Amino acid sequence: MKKYFSDIHALPSSQLGDEKDLTIDDENTTLALNAVDSKRSYENLFQLANCYVKQLRYKRALETINEVLEIKPNDLKALRVRAIRHLTTLQVAKALDDFTYLDNNGFSEDLSYQLGLSYFYLSRYEEALVYFEKCFTLSTDEMKVACIYWHTIAAWRCGRSPSLLKEFKIGMDIGHHVGYDAALKLYTGVLSEDVYLMLLAEEPSDLEYSIFSYGYYAYLEKEKRAAEKDSVLNDILSRDSFWISFAYIAAYNDKFYSGRGR
Protein backbone atom coordinates (compact mmCIF):
# COMPACT_ATOMS: atom_id res chain seq x y z
CA MET A 1 0.00 0.00 0.00
CA LYS A 2 1.27 3.44 -0.84
CA LYS A 3 1.95 5.91 1.95
CA TYR A 4 -1.27 7.86 2.42
CA PHE A 5 -0.25 10.06 5.35
CA SER A 6 2.63 11.39 7.38
CA ASP A 7 4.25 9.40 10.16
CA ILE A 8 3.27 12.30 12.44
CA HIS A 9 -0.51 12.29 12.21
CA ALA A 10 -3.69 12.85 14.19
CA LEU A 11 -5.93 10.16 15.65
CA PRO A 12 -9.70 9.76 15.27
CA SER A 13 -10.32 10.88 18.85
CA SER A 14 -9.29 14.41 17.91
CA GLN A 15 -10.66 14.62 14.37
CA LEU A 16 -13.92 12.69 14.72
CA GLY A 17 -14.21 13.31 18.44
CA ASP A 18 -13.45 16.22 20.73
CA GLU A 19 -10.09 15.34 22.23
CA LYS A 20 -7.22 17.82 21.94
CA ASP A 21 -5.83 18.13 18.43
CA LEU A 22 -2.31 17.13 17.45
CA THR A 23 0.02 20.13 17.58
CA ILE A 24 3.26 18.60 16.26
CA ASP A 25 4.24 19.76 12.79
CA ASP A 26 6.14 17.47 10.46
CA GLU A 27 8.91 18.84 8.24
CA ASN A 28 6.67 19.68 5.29
CA THR A 29 4.14 21.47 7.48
CA THR A 30 6.91 23.51 9.11
CA LEU A 31 8.15 24.61 5.69
CA ALA A 32 4.62 25.51 4.61
CA LEU A 33 4.05 27.53 7.80
CA ASN A 34 7.27 29.44 7.13
CA ALA A 35 6.10 30.20 3.59
CA VAL A 36 2.78 31.54 4.91
CA ASP A 37 4.64 33.68 7.47
CA SER A 38 6.66 35.12 4.59
CA LYS A 39 3.63 35.66 2.31
CA ARG A 40 0.01 34.98 3.19
CA SER A 41 -1.11 34.09 -0.32
CA TYR A 42 -3.72 31.79 -1.86
CA GLU A 43 -1.00 29.40 -3.03
CA ASN A 44 0.91 29.26 0.26
CA LEU A 45 -2.22 28.79 2.37
CA PHE A 46 -3.44 26.05 0.03
CA GLN A 47 -0.11 24.27 0.37
CA LEU A 48 -0.34 24.54 4.16
CA ALA A 49 -3.86 23.09 4.12
CA ASN A 50 -2.58 20.17 2.04
CA CYS A 51 0.21 19.58 4.56
CA TYR A 52 -2.31 19.47 7.40
CA VAL A 53 -4.37 16.97 5.38
CA LYS A 54 -1.27 14.80 4.99
CA GLN A 55 -0.94 14.81 8.78
CA LEU A 56 -4.66 13.92 9.08
CA ARG A 57 -5.10 17.21 10.94
CA TYR A 58 -8.35 17.84 9.17
CA LYS A 59 -9.63 20.45 11.61
CA ARG A 60 -6.53 22.58 11.06
CA ALA A 61 -6.87 22.02 7.33
CA LEU A 62 -10.42 23.35 7.55
CA GLU A 63 -9.26 26.46 9.39
CA THR A 64 -6.61 27.07 6.75
CA ILE A 65 -8.86 26.42 3.76
CA ASN A 66 -11.31 28.95 5.20
CA GLU A 67 -8.46 31.46 5.09
CA VAL A 68 -7.98 30.54 1.43
CA LEU A 69 -11.66 31.27 0.85
CA GLU A 70 -11.27 34.69 2.47
CA ILE A 71 -8.78 35.51 -0.28
CA LYS A 72 -10.78 33.87 -3.08
CA PRO A 73 -14.44 33.45 -2.07
CA ASN A 74 -16.40 30.56 -3.62
CA ASP A 75 -13.26 29.09 -5.17
CA LEU A 76 -14.43 25.65 -6.29
CA LYS A 77 -11.07 23.95 -5.73
CA ALA A 78 -10.94 25.19 -2.14
CA LEU A 79 -14.59 24.32 -1.53
CA ARG A 80 -13.91 20.77 -2.75
CA VAL A 81 -11.16 20.42 -0.13
CA ARG A 82 -13.41 21.91 2.54
CA ALA A 83 -16.32 19.63 1.63
CA ILE A 84 -14.41 16.38 2.01
CA ARG A 85 -12.76 17.54 5.25
CA HIS A 86 -16.13 18.46 6.68
CA LEU A 87 -17.25 14.94 5.77
CA THR A 88 -14.18 13.27 7.30
CA THR A 89 -14.63 15.16 10.58
CA LEU A 90 -18.34 14.22 10.62
CA GLN A 91 -19.47 17.82 10.23
CA VAL A 92 -21.84 16.32 7.73
CA ALA A 93 -24.44 19.07 7.34
CA LYS A 94 -21.64 21.46 6.37
CA ALA A 95 -20.21 18.85 3.98
CA LEU A 96 -23.60 18.44 2.34
CA ASP A 97 -23.91 22.20 1.89
CA ASP A 98 -20.49 22.37 0.24
CA PHE A 99 -20.99 19.36 -2.02
CA THR A 100 -24.42 20.63 -3.07
CA TYR A 101 -23.01 24.06 -3.90
CA LEU A 102 -20.24 22.44 -5.96
CA ASP A 103 -22.71 20.17 -7.73
CA ASN A 104 -24.92 23.13 -8.62
CA ASN A 105 -22.15 25.46 -9.74
CA GLY A 106 -20.27 23.73 -12.50
CA PHE A 107 -17.70 21.68 -10.58
CA SER A 108 -16.20 19.30 -13.13
CA GLU A 109 -15.99 16.16 -10.99
CA ASP A 110 -19.04 13.96 -10.44
CA LEU A 111 -19.91 14.21 -6.74
CA SER A 112 -22.68 11.64 -6.53
CA TYR A 113 -20.63 9.24 -4.37
CA GLN A 114 -19.72 11.97 -1.88
CA LEU A 115 -23.31 13.22 -1.80
CA GLY A 116 -24.49 9.67 -1.19
CA LEU A 117 -22.10 9.29 1.73
CA SER A 118 -23.16 12.66 3.15
CA TYR A 119 -26.81 11.61 3.19
CA PHE A 120 -25.82 8.18 4.55
CA TYR A 121 -23.92 9.75 7.46
CA LEU A 122 -26.96 11.92 8.19
CA SER A 123 -29.21 8.80 8.25
CA ARG A 124 -31.13 10.24 5.30
CA TYR A 125 -30.98 6.88 3.61
CA GLU A 126 -33.61 7.29 0.90
CA GLU A 127 -31.77 10.35 -0.40
CA ALA A 128 -28.48 8.43 -0.18
CA LEU A 129 -29.97 5.73 -2.42
CA VAL A 130 -30.62 8.24 -5.18
CA TYR A 131 -27.00 9.36 -5.31
CA PHE A 132 -25.49 5.89 -5.04
CA GLU A 133 -27.70 4.83 -7.95
CA LYS A 134 -26.52 7.83 -9.97
CA CYS A 135 -22.88 7.07 -9.11
CA PHE A 136 -23.37 3.43 -10.13
CA THR A 137 -24.51 4.39 -13.62
CA LEU A 138 -21.43 6.59 -14.13
CA SER A 139 -18.79 4.31 -12.61
CA THR A 140 -16.28 1.63 -13.52
CA ASP A 141 -16.59 -1.77 -11.86
CA GLU A 142 -14.20 -0.68 -9.11
CA MET A 143 -16.54 2.07 -7.97
CA LYS A 144 -19.68 0.09 -8.77
CA VAL A 145 -18.92 -2.40 -5.98
CA ALA A 146 -18.51 0.48 -3.50
CA CYS A 147 -21.82 1.98 -4.66
CA ILE A 148 -23.62 -1.36 -4.30
CA TYR A 149 -22.17 -1.85 -0.79
CA TRP A 150 -23.36 1.51 0.54
CA HIS A 151 -26.63 1.36 -1.40
CA THR A 152 -27.45 -2.07 0.06
CA ILE A 153 -26.82 -0.96 3.64
CA ALA A 154 -28.81 2.24 3.13
CA ALA A 155 -31.70 0.25 1.62
CA TRP A 156 -31.77 -2.17 4.55
CA ARG A 157 -31.85 0.73 6.97
CA CYS A 158 -34.84 2.47 5.38
CA GLY A 159 -36.78 -0.70 4.63
CA ARG A 160 -36.26 -0.59 0.88
CA SER A 161 -35.21 -3.38 -1.45
CA PRO A 162 -31.44 -3.28 -2.18
CA SER A 163 -32.07 -3.10 -5.90
CA LEU A 164 -28.45 -2.56 -6.93
CA LEU A 165 -27.39 -5.81 -5.27
CA LYS A 166 -28.69 -7.77 -8.26
CA GLU A 167 -26.13 -5.91 -10.40
CA PHE A 168 -23.23 -7.49 -8.52
CA LYS A 169 -21.43 -10.10 -10.58
CA ILE A 170 -18.55 -12.42 -9.81
CA GLY A 171 -15.47 -11.37 -11.78
CA MET A 172 -16.10 -7.64 -11.77
CA ASP A 173 -12.88 -5.65 -12.13
CA ILE A 174 -12.82 -4.52 -8.50
CA GLY A 175 -9.26 -3.14 -8.39
CA HIS A 176 -8.32 -2.57 -4.75
CA HIS A 177 -11.92 -2.71 -3.48
CA VAL A 178 -11.60 -6.23 -2.08
CA GLY A 179 -13.48 -5.46 1.16
CA TYR A 180 -16.53 -4.17 -0.70
CA ASP A 181 -16.41 -7.17 -3.03
CA ALA A 182 -16.24 -9.64 -0.13
CA ALA A 183 -19.19 -8.02 1.65
CA LEU A 184 -21.30 -8.27 -1.50
CA LYS A 185 -20.38 -11.95 -1.80
CA LEU A 186 -21.69 -12.43 1.75
CA TYR A 187 -24.89 -10.53 0.93
CA THR A 188 -25.54 -12.61 -2.19
CA GLY A 189 -24.67 -15.96 -0.57
CA VAL A 190 -21.51 -16.54 -2.60
CA LEU A 191 -19.57 -16.58 0.67
CA SER A 192 -20.89 -18.28 3.77
CA GLU A 193 -20.76 -16.38 7.04
CA ASP A 194 -18.11 -18.78 8.36
CA VAL A 195 -15.82 -18.20 5.38
CA TYR A 196 -16.38 -14.45 5.61
CA LEU A 197 -15.35 -14.47 9.27
CA MET A 198 -12.27 -16.49 8.40
CA LEU A 199 -11.27 -13.90 5.78
CA LEU A 200 -11.96 -11.13 8.27
CA ALA A 201 -9.76 -12.74 10.92
CA GLU A 202 -6.92 -13.04 8.42
CA GLU A 203 -7.12 -9.47 7.08
CA PRO A 204 -3.92 -7.57 8.05
CA SER A 205 -4.86 -4.14 6.68
CA ASP A 206 -6.93 -1.90 8.95
CA LEU A 207 -8.29 -0.17 5.85
CA GLU A 208 -9.76 -3.37 4.41
CA TYR A 209 -10.66 -4.63 7.89
CA SER A 210 -12.92 -1.65 8.47
CA ILE A 211 -14.74 -2.29 5.18
CA PHE A 212 -15.06 -6.04 5.81
CA SER A 213 -16.23 -5.46 9.37
CA TYR A 214 -18.64 -2.62 8.71
CA GLY A 215 -20.21 -4.73 6.00
CA TYR A 216 -20.60 -7.56 8.51
CA TYR A 217 -21.94 -5.16 11.14
CA ALA A 218 -24.64 -4.02 8.71
CA TYR A 219 -25.45 -7.65 7.88
CA LEU A 220 -25.90 -8.47 11.58
CA GLU A 221 -28.03 -5.35 11.99
CA LYS A 222 -30.28 -6.48 9.14
CA GLU A 223 -30.51 -9.94 10.74
CA LYS A 224 -31.42 -8.30 14.10
CA ARG A 225 -28.47 -9.84 15.92
CA ALA A 226 -28.00 -6.85 18.22
CA ALA A 227 -25.46 -8.17 20.74
CA GLU A 228 -23.18 -9.48 18.00
CA LYS A 229 -23.33 -6.29 15.94
CA ASP A 230 -22.42 -4.12 18.93
CA SER A 231 -19.33 -6.26 19.52
CA VAL A 232 -18.33 -5.92 15.86
CA LEU A 233 -18.76 -2.14 15.99
CA ASN A 234 -16.41 -1.88 18.96
CA ASP A 235 -13.94 -4.16 17.21
CA ILE A 236 -13.87 -1.90 14.12
CA LEU A 237 -13.04 1.12 16.26
CA SER A 238 -10.19 -0.73 17.97
CA ARG A 239 -8.42 -1.13 14.58
CA ASP A 240 -7.68 2.56 14.04
CA SER A 241 -4.33 2.74 12.26
CA PHE A 242 -6.23 3.63 9.05
CA TRP A 243 -9.16 5.48 10.56
CA ILE A 244 -9.69 7.67 7.49
CA SER A 245 -11.64 5.01 5.60
CA PHE A 246 -15.31 5.83 4.96
CA ALA A 247 -16.30 2.58 6.69
CA TYR A 248 -14.35 3.40 9.87
CA ILE A 249 -15.88 6.89 9.91
CA ALA A 250 -19.34 5.36 9.47
CA ALA A 251 -18.69 3.07 12.43
CA TYR A 252 -17.53 6.00 14.58
CA ASN A 253 -20.62 7.94 13.51
CA ASP A 254 -22.93 5.07 14.47
CA LYS A 255 -21.22 4.56 17.82
CA PHE A 256 -20.91 8.14 19.03
CA TYR A 257 -23.42 10.22 17.02
CA SER A 258 -26.29 7.76 16.47
CA GLY A 259 -25.40 7.73 12.77
CA ARG A 260 -26.33 11.39 12.18
CA GLY A 261 -23.01 13.23 12.28
CA ARG A 262 -22.07 15.96 14.70
CA distance 236 to 210: 6
Residue 2 has what pLDDT? 63
Residue 52 has what pLDDT? 98
CA distance 17 to 262: 9
Q: What rounded mean pLDDT belongs to the chain?
A: 96
pTM of the model: 0.96
Residue 247 has what pLDDT? 98
Whether pLDDT at 79 is above 60: yes
Whether pLDDT at 100 is above 80: yes
Looking at the chain, the whole-number percentage of residues with pLDDT higher than 90 is: 96
What's the whole-number mean pLDDT along residues 69-92?
98
Residues 6+ apart with CB under 8 A from 194: none
pLDDT band at 4 (very low <50, low <70, confident <90, very high): confident
CA distance 218 to 215: 5
pLDDT 10s digits, 21-78:
999 999 999 999 999 999 999 999 999 999 999 999 999 999 999 999 999 999 999 9
Tell me how long the chain is: 262
Residue 3 has what pLDDT? 81
CA distance 153 to 79: 29
pLDDT 10s digits, 103-154:
999 899 999 999 999 999 999 999 999 999 999 999 999 999 999 999 999 9
pLDDT 10s digits, 200-230:
999 999 999 999 999 999 999 999 999 999 9
Q: Which amino acid is at 44?
A: N
